[in-house]
Amino acid sequence: MAKRWVWTINLLVLGALVGAMFVIERLTAQEQRFMLNCASELTDRNELLDKDVQHYLLVDLVTSGSTAQVNYRYYSVDGSSAGSISMQGKVDKIDQDSNTYFVSVSTKQETPSVDMPQHMQYLSYVSSLNINEKGEHNLSLELLDIDKAKDYAVVLFQPSNTVCGCRLVH
């Protein structure tokens, strides 16, 4: 009878230790979070007026676990807003060999303006077409060059074919 109590107590202690290990692991495990703040200059060639129209593009990428959000914000040279597109989805894959993030966008919100840059028009059209027909818009972000010591990266966004200088945010 005494052996049965010893075994019962040992099993309870072992169960408590295993449970404590799972709780500690869950509390200390952090989701992988990645954040980029990117900027680029856009030039739209207006052949009717025979002049170039300049815009600035700011792109923010935030990933947390498997969720992703990409915000495109467009500005005129004078600093006034020229529109924005906010996309939400998930990270499908991270290719460590090519430093490429593959994101599947399922929803988006747009804030258009009267003078939308051609880049925004294209991105709006392509993403709407894909979301309406396939239920998702796939994009990739390839880190072409990265300097972790300076928290800086050069990133290629596809399918918009845009290269941006980006700040890595920790």
115-153 residue pLDDT tens: 889 899 999 999 999 999 999 999 999 999 999 899 999
Q: Choose among 129, 70, 73, 133: nearest CA to 105.
A: 70
Whole-angstrom distance, CA of residue 80 vs CA of residue 39: 16
Whole-angstrom distance, CA of residue 88 vs CA of residue 60: 12
Q: Which pLDDT score, from 0 to 100, does residue 130 have?
A: 94
Q: Which pLDDT score, from 0 to 100, does residue 47 have?
A: 62
- H helical segments located in 29-163: 118-134
Q: Which pLDDT score, from 0 to 100, does residue 166 have?
A: 94
Residues of the chain with pLDDT under 50: none
Q: Which pLDDT score, from 0 to 100, does residue 84 have?
A: 96
The CA dihedral of 89, 94, 98, 101, to the nearest 10 degrees, is: 10
* CB neighbours of residue 50 within 10 Å: 7
Q: Which pLDDT score, from 0 to 100, does residue 34 have?
A: 81
Rg of the chain in Å (alpha carbons): 24
Whole-angstrom distance, CA of residue 82 vs CA of residue 58: 11
Give domain limits for the chain.
Answer: 1-30, 33-169
